[in-house]
Amino acid sequence: MTVNTALKDSSIESYGSVDRPDKDWEDPLKNKDPEKSAEPLSTLGQLLNLPRSCGMWFVGLERNFGMELLLAIFAAEHLIKGFDHGVGSDATSFLFKLYHVEAVNVQTYTAVKAMPWSLKPAIGALSDLFPILGYRKAPYIIMSSIIGIGCYIAIGVDFSTSIPIEFCVIMLMGCNVQGSVCDLLTEAQYSERLSEKPKHGPDLVSFVWLGQTLMSLVASLIIGPLLSIGGPHLVFLICVVPAAVVLWPMSRNYLGERYQTAKESAEMRAWFLSVWEVFVPVIAVLVGAIALTICGLTIHNKLVRLIIALLCLALVLASINVALRPEISRIISFYIVQSAVHVSFSGASFYFYTDTEDELPGGPHFSKTFFTTVLGIVSAVCSLIGLWMYIKWFKHWGYRKILYVTNVVLCIAYLLDIVQFTRLNKRIGVNDHIFCLGSHTVQRLVARIAWMPQVLVLSQMCPKGLEGTMYAILAGSANFGGSIASFIGAYLLHISGVNPRGTLGDAAQLSFLWLPCVVSAIMPALMVLLIPYMIPDIAQTGAVLVEDPSSPSLGSPLSRWLAHRRGATAWSRPIDTNSG
């Protein structure tokens, strides 16, 4: 999302200096002559050589991209998205339990607090249109981090739970504002650096994802003991430290941003106006997110909440299908609807798994350590295994085939929850901990395999010159579908009479938890009927945009109407752009 014009290097006085290596660096110890290469190392030899290999790999990253960029990524992606987001998500459920929030409201509040992740398109457009002091990323990261730090402190110091729960939800939104802004703008900046050295791009992307996974594992290891020692408030106080660390590299311009002049900012705004049709979905998602936030915090009628959520979903789908080209709109509409129908009942299932014997006689009674640490580690490991399985067996499948299989398997996997919610596993002699680990493993593995082609197809739907902008629009819209799923789940719990709150009456409230789960298991199967009409019959390596791949609106109803009115082509781009 940057204009490809000559930009002035940032100075030490104005924003800090950055070391930007000019030449690609290769491992000097690597044998370049295949005829002189040594014999393959044994498994033991490979393990013993692993520290040296990792060290040289990191040295290569440092030489090619600079230590400052790696430190910025570590602070924004590893600490904020990997650690803070991991421990914060787990701590939030126990925070709601301290307040005895009804499960129906937990569903709604969970969607509201995560709304900043749906606002990535608006955040990206704002930072590009209105740079601060000539910089488009770091100032926004710094401001969002100050908001995040304040919100973490506000939640962490209130050990008495005296502040209203709605205020807590707003503070949780503030924490996610930091996570969303840091993730989007850091990703945009290192994507620009990748374009300079594409040969080493996989290494940098691996560094980002490996660091996130390792920090999420660290988060899983400590979250259980922390909750047992000091409850969720202690966890949020600890999150202040990583949230504050990001201020140092961003204030020193470790991202390596270039100064943008007033003229270049004007050119950027002019270019945005020339492609305004693309931002119709941005406005729709922004309006929908605001409406859902206000609805979730102020309206208590469950049916009204559902109606507003479905109207917002219709608004977003309509904007996408009106403004974007059919090849894009059909696919992203499918993934939005698929996210919306993959309904989770985490608000109720959390109470089912963690209630005490007094609250739910005969229940699983999972400890905080098992529910957060053990299941968290299993989730992280399953994500890695699922990624490996996808690369080994599924990356050559077509989009339709992998969607058929994963949707059907997920439906079957969701039925496993019903076995536990009806206590059938106990009647056949299967321990709750063992059964939950098994069902959790299957669901996470399949979900990871299903997620990979979605990421791939989203990247393939980004027109040239608009990669960063379009990816933010597509990913934000998909995240919006997940928020709709929480509202649908809340209403299904309500009409099923399932509304526990972590008190002595939970046994009666949870007796029909299996009923909405049957509905949630059936809904993904219905998506199979839409696959032939909305997903192209191509391999995952095939091109999604064949004709005029630089146009995001070719053939859209809006572009055809505009072309008819002005008697010109519906798409023009006055200046070149880079991805961001």
Mean pLDDT, rounded, of the chain = 82
Closest Cα partner for 307 from 326, 290, 292, 322?
292
554 versus 432: which is more confidently predicted? 432
Span 534-540, mean pLDDT? 83
Identify the CATH number of the domain in which residue 433 sits: 1.20.1250.20
Ranking 11-20, 326-335, 516-525, 560-569 by mean pLDDT, the lowest is 11-20
Q: Is residue 510 part of a domain?
A: yes
Please give the biggest Cα pair distance in the chain.
Answer: 74
pTM of the entire predicted model:
0.83
284 Cβ partners below 8 Å, 6+ apart? 315, 316, 318, 319, 320
Indicate whether 245 and 344 sit together in one domain. Answer: no
Q: Is residue 266 part of a domain?
A: no
Indicate whether 352 and 467 sit together in one domain. Answer: yes
Domain residues for the domain of 97 are 66-260
Indicate whether 399 and 543 sit together in one domain. Answer: yes
Ranking 38-52, 132-146, 446-460, 556-570 by mean pLDDT, the lowest is 38-52
Pick the last residue of a domain from 260, 276, 299: 260
- The model's pLDDT over 283-316, given as tens digits with 9 standing for 90+, comes to 999 999 999 999 999 999 999 999 999 999 999 9
**Strand, helix or coil at 571?**
coil
pLDDT at 10: 35
pLDDT at 241: 94
Q: Is residue 303 part of a domain?
A: no
Domain total in the chain: 2
Span 1-11, mean pLDDT? 36
Q: Is residue 355 part of a domain?
A: yes
What gap in Å lies between CA 119 and CA 177, rounded to an integer? 9
Three-state helix/strand/coil letters over 276-340: HHHHHHHHHHHHHHHHHHHHHHHCCCHHHHHHHHHHHHHHHHHHHHHHCCHHHHHHHHHHHHHHH
Check whether 14 has a pLDDT greater than 50.
no
Give the tokens for residue 233. 């408030």
Q: Is residue 330 part of a domain?
A: yes
Ranking 130-134, 327-331, 544-548 by mean pLDDT, the lowest is 544-548
Residue 501, amino acid: R
Pick the last residue of a domain from 213, 229, 260: 260
Indicate whether 501 and 375 sit together in one domain. Answer: yes
Give the tokens for residue 290. 């605001």
CB of 102 within 8 A of CB of 501? yes
Give the tokens for residue 85. 């987001």
Q: Is residue 515 part of a domain?
A: yes
Q: Is residue 169 part of a domain?
A: yes
Indicate whether 356 and 240 sit together in one domain. Answer: no
56 Cβ partners below 8 Å, 6+ apart? 27, 29
pLDDT at 450: 83
Give the tokens for residue 444. 């996470």
Apex 199 CA angle, 197 and 202, nearest 5: 100
Span 137-148, mean pLDDT? 94
Indicate whether 92 and 186 sit together in one domain. Answer: yes
142 Cβ partners below 8 Å, 6+ apart? 247, 250, 251
Q: Is residue 466 part of a domain?
A: yes
Span 412-431, mean pLDDT? 89
